[in-house]
Amino acid sequence: MNAVKDENSGVYYEIIDPGTGGTPNLNSQIFIKYEGRLLNGNIFDEQSDPSRTGWQLRTLIPGWQVVIPKIRKGGKVKMIIPSALAYGCRANGNIPANSILYFYVELNEFY
């Protein structure tokens, strides 16, 4: 991964495809495909049907709030999110406390 570090947050990301058109903001409802992995490679969550998403960006983990606005509709990005910008010291489902998370996200649509 040829990642860039966001200096303000510490999130690493690599834009695979920037997409086209406008960019989402924190108030946008985003429709995405994604895969989330722990650093050991275990998948903890994934969604291949964007119609099952439709979340407001401001309600998602802070690391996503930093990176998703860097791509446009049709964009694809990889991110490595420090635990402080994910779930921190709390476990969340299959995600142990203090986990650094890897995501691959495709932004299919936003409103």
pLDDT (0 to 100) of residue 54: 97
Q: 25-48: b or e for each residue (b if 16 or more CB lie within 10 Å)?
A: eeebebbbbbbbeeeeeeebeeee
Q: What is the pTM of this model?
A: 0.94
Give pLDDT tens digits for 31-65. 999 999 999 999 999 999 999 999 999 999 999 99
What's the whole-number average pLDDT of the chain? 97
pLDDT at residue 11 above 90? yes
Residue 53 CA from chain centroid, whole number: 13
pLDDT at 1: 75
Where exactly are the structural domains of the chain? 4-110
Arithmetic mean of pLDDT, 75-89: 98
**Percent of the chain clearing pLDDT 90 (strictly above):** 98
CATH architecture of 4-110: Roll (3.10)
